Amino acid sequence: MIAGVSFFLYLIQMARKVKRKTLVRKLDRIFSLYVRTRDSDKTGYCQCCTCGKKLKIKEVHCGHFMSRRHMITRWDEENVAAQCAGCNTFRSGEQYKFALFLNDKYNTDKSSELLQKSRETAKYSITDLEEMIEHYKTLLDKL
């Protein structure tokens, strides 16, 4: 009977525990909305950083210069910009044009810096992810 009770308590504890995967998805959504809002004009339109097409904020993606698989640059504000679905998805992010855009925007060799940074490793804790979620919620409210 004791084993049954402890298993039941274990199930309750596991149900309450927030999973890392859930937090990563939530942070991705909030970060994407923040970037697209940051890059939009007053009328709610964004310009694709690689082809220049203007689209509504809901129709653009949060394009990453260095792939999202590199956790250290995944939520780096300098690594992302509004990008149309055509460039981001169907033309694999137009990385060369994206690099030119970043270098022009920051007046440095930002693409090389991000490439170097992406080679580092990062493991974010659940607390780190929760803090980043709150940070980007706050920034989003200020826009």
29 found inside a domain: no
Amino acid, res. 23: L
pLDDT in tens, 67-104: 999 999 999 999 999 999 999 999 998 999 999 999 99
Mean pLDDT of 107-135: 96
**pLDDT in the model for residue 80:** 98
Write down the mean pLDDT value for the chain.
91
Q: What ranges make up the beta strands (E) of the chain?
A: 45-47, 54-56, 60-64, 80-84
Q: In this structure, is residue 97 part of a structural domain?
A: yes
User: By residue range, what is the domain housing residue 105?
Assistant: 38-133
Residue 141: the pLDDT is: 94
Q: How far apart are CA 85 and CA 82, in angstroms?
A: 10
Percent of the chain whose pLDDT exceeds 90: 84
For residue range 11-27, what is the model confidence (pLDDT) as tens digits? 666 666 678 999 999 99
User: Mean per-residue pLDDT for 47-65?
Assistant: 96
| 128 part of a folded domain | yes
Whether 100 is in a domain gets the answer: yes
Nearest-angstrom CA–CA distance, 71 and 124: 8
Number of domains in the chain: 1
In the chain, DSSP finds a helix count (H) and a strand count (E) of 7, 4
The reply to whether 7 falls in a domain is no
Residue 99 lies in a domain: yes
User: CA torsion sign, 69 to 130 to 21 to 143?
Assistant: negative
Domain membership flag for residue 70 = yes
pTM score, whole prediction: 0.85
- Tell whether 115 is covered by a domain: yes
